[in-house]
Amino acid sequence: MEDKSIFKSWVPKWAIITILFVCLLHSMILLGVYTSNVTYAASFLDIEPEDLQYAMCVTYGTLLATILIESRFSSFFPAKNYLMGVYSLIGVTIVASGYVDNFAVFLLLRVAEGILMALPAITIRQLLIEQFDSKNAIIIGFSFYYGSLLLSTPFIMNIAVWFLDHYDWKYMLYVSGGLQVLNVFLILVTFRGHRITKKIPLYQIDWMSYFLVLTAILCGAYFFVYAEKKYWFESSQMVLMLIMALITGGLFIFKELLVKRPTFDFEVFKYANLRIGFLLFFLFYISRATLSLCHSAMYSIWNWDPSRVAGVQYINGLGNVIGLILAAYFLMKSVSTKIIFLIGFSLIALYHFWFTFLFVPDVALSDIIVPYFLQGIGVGLLFVPLILFTTSSVPANMAVSSGIVGVSGRFWGSTIGFCVMQNATVFLNKKHFFKLSQFVTGENPEAQQTIASTTQSFIAKGYSADNANVLAMKKIFGSITKQSTLLADMEIYTIVGYGLLVLIILIACNQHLRQTVTLMKSKIWIG
């Protein structure tokens, strides 16, 4: 890169950091605007929650594929024009999605948003890292960048709840699009027009590899998101999606291994840190997926209103911030990554075991605040060290490939984590509902007495005997459904907790894990 700053001379450093951080918020919006309130967003689009989860996978999966070719675009255009163009297009797609009621068209917009989310990320992050005159610039820059991604859900959810209380859903999209206009204005005013990288012509882009890997990602994600709903291999559609994912993924691997200058260099898998980092990321995201069960219990079991759930998520977000600060401090002090991993995964394991005893029909916020907060600290503590551990041992010429592996671990971990939690919840709910309902339908004296007393309470309210009996059975089976959900959540949290204990023991016994924070300031890793 050239020494000449891309920013105008009158712009102070604190303003530069603020502007770059504001520009990072587009990632928070694209990741959180529809997942912040799944039920409302699904009803707004007239789709199922699984459809919305797949739409999220489409955005993240497209981002993953686009990293393969992103550098060709950012190197071709001057940074100022490039970023202004990208943020303008992001604003258009966000606002346009508010006028789309066809799910297929909505998915196409999510593909576009995934591409546009990937395009400015590396440039902005590179500029952010350069603002810190320290040997720890990468650690500080990564903490800012990935901290914004971690905080996207509580940040956007609280905004969403406020907008839903005062305005229509579309107004939130208008404001999200307006933020992109702010980005364009800030870049227009503060950026110079010169280049920060050597110009590379836009030809010989490996479009075939791009479309092969994108097809494999989207088909694979479709399989895992809809597998439970469509009964796995009983559905010909599921079989077709899996076959397409395997064929296109296989063709991509075969092509990359044959060509002289591959878009993705499979030589990166020779590095043990990268292989271990990918596995840890995968398991980390599966363990994070249980947080959705906690939030679901807040809504459906404890009957907390959306504004309260949104506010509670700030507690977890505060934990994320503290975890990120602790991770940055440990990395700057050259604390072994093994120690950081042990502390982080231990906190998440503690959260799971603690919360196992909190899945009861009613709890107070004071009961859950400590484990909920500790989960946030554990996640924040692990995120940046995992990224640096995965990428830091790989040579600079393989930075793009190592970054793709890191993003792949996060993408497939979150996608398969959703699949695991969805299937486990359905299976365990059915198992417990069947067992508990036997006590109601059988000749259990206590059950019959409960039915009779509940029926009498409805008769006392003025209902006829038949209607009172129907309402009594609905109330009892509703209680059984809630109890089944609580028992299922307890089992899932217990199993994940023990799984994390095994992982902690393996990390403690693994002699390969070592300190991997000696990073050159000039290296720009793709996480």
DSSP 301-346: TS---HHHHHHHHHHHHHHHHHHHHHHHHHHHTT--HHHHHHHHHH
Residue 347: which pLDDT band, with cuts at 50, 70 and 90?
A: very high
Phi first, then psi: what are they for 7, rounded to 5°?
Answer: -90, 150
* Residue spans of beta strands (DSSP E) within 127-234: none
Q: Hey, is 257 helix, strand or coil?
A: helix
Tokens of 507: 């990390």
1-201 and 268-422+489-526 agree in CATH topology: yes
Q: Which two tokens stand for residue 278?
A: 């990918």
Q: Give pLDDT tens digits for 139-148.
A: 666 676 677 6
Superfamily of domain 1-201: MFS general substrate transporter like domains (1.20.1250.20)
pLDDT classification of 275: cutoffs 50, 70, 90: confident
Annotation: CATH topology of 268-422+489-526: Growth Hormone; Chain: A; (1.20.1250)
Provide the pLDDT for residue 444.
Answer: 62
Taking all residues of the chain, what is their mean pLDDT, rounded to a whole number? 75
Among 25-39, 229-243, 267-281, the range scoring the smallest mean pLDDT is 25-39
Percent of the chain with pLDDT over 90: 2
- Mean pLDDT score, 226-255: 83
Q: Give the confidence band of 479 by pLDDT, cuts at 50, 70, 90.
A: confident
pLDDT > 70: what percent of the chain? 72
Residue 519: the pLDDT is: 41
Query: In the predicted model, is pLDDT for residue 26 greater than 50?
Result: yes
pLDDT, tens digit, 9 for 90 and up, residues 64-88: 888 877 777 767 777 778 788 888 8
Cβ-based burial of 506 (10 A; exposed 0-12, middle 13-18, buried ≥19): exposed
Query: Which of residues 169 and 253 earns the better pLDDT score?
Result: 253
How confident is the model over 501-516, as a mean pLDDT?
72
pLDDT in tens, 82-125: 788 888 888 888 888 777 777 778 788 888 888 888 777 777 77
Query: Per-residue pLDDT averaged across 421-439, rounded?
Result: 76
Backbone angles phi, psi at 191, to 5 degrees: -90, 150
Please give the Cα distance from 315 to 295 (Å, whole number): 13
Instruction: Report the distance separating Cα 489 and Cα 49, nearest Å.
Output: 19
Whether residue 37 is predicted with pLDDT greater than 60 in this model: the reply is no
Statement: residue 524 has pLDDT above 60: no
User: What pLDDT is stored for residue 251 in this prediction?
Assistant: 87
Q: Looking at residue 451, what is its pLDDT?
A: 63
Per-domain boundaries in the chain: 1-201, 207-262, 268-422+489-526, 430-488
Residue 350: the pLDDT is: 92
Please list, in sequence order, all residues whose beta carbon lies within 8 angstroms of the beta carbon of residue 135, skipping any fewer than 6 positions away: 521
Say whether pLDDT at 213 is over 80: yes
Q: How much is the pLDDT for 450?
A: 65
What band does 522 get if pLDDT is binned at 50, 70 and 90? very low
Q: Is the dihedral of CA 196, 202, 205, 210 positive or negative?
A: positive
By C-alpha distance, which of 58, 117, 94 is closest to 172? 94
Write the pLDDT tens digit of every residue in 150-167.
766 666 666 666 666 666
Considering all CA atoms of the chain, what is the largest pairwise distance in Å, rounded to the nearest integer? 85
Distance between CA atoms of residues 196 and 120, nearest Å:
14
